[in-house]
Amino acid sequence: MTDPLDLVFAALADPTRRAILAMLLEDDMAVTDVAEPFAMSLAAISKHLAILADAGLISQEKRGRVKWCKLEPDAMRAASVWMQGFGQFEPVNLDAFERFLARELADEPEIGPEIGPEIAPG
């Protein structure tokens, strides 16, 4: 049996599926409306939707002849909690880190031509 968290992350790994989720943030959509902005077949979109549904990220419901998709935001809660566990670390300020390294490296003696022949690369 697959871990539900694995299913969520696998579903989120694809840019098309992330775009679909972003579209569904606005409102429920018919499958044909979901497919409209993508340059792929309705069958391909249906496969993406099935992966999202298997992960619990969306639900699908037939209303008359039309199949509708609805975002299920609670399905991302476990993934969000898991990722927040890594939020305990302060984000690295790369500019400050680069300045620090520049200062530290400026204080180091340079290795130059004064290397003796016994250590110089040959």
Picking from 80, 69, 87, the residue whose alpha carbon sits closest to that of residue 5 is 80
Q: In the predicted model, what is the mean pLDDT of residues 58-77?
A: 93
Of 12 and 73, more confident: 12
- The pLDDT, as a whole number, for residue 116 is 46
**3 state SS of 110:** coil
The Cα 38–Cα 53 span in angstroms is: 19
The Cα 18–Cα 46 span in angstroms is: 14
Domain 4-77, classified CATH 3.40.309.10, yes or no: no
Q: Which residue has the tokens 């993934």?
A: 79
Boundaries of every domain in the chain: 4-77
How many degrees, rounded to 5, is the angle at CA 103 between CA 102 and CA 105? 65
Residue 120 has pLDDT above 70, yes or no: no
- The pLDDT, as a whole number, for residue 70 is 97
Q: In what order do the strands lie in the sheet with 58-63?
A: 29-30, 66-71, 58-63
Quick one: pLDDT band at residue 109, thresholds 50, 70, 90? low
User: What contacts 121, CB < 8 A, 6 or more positions away?
Assistant: none
The overall pTM is greater than 0.85: no
pLDDT digits (tens, 9 = 90+) for 30-56: 999 999 999 999 999 999 999 999 999
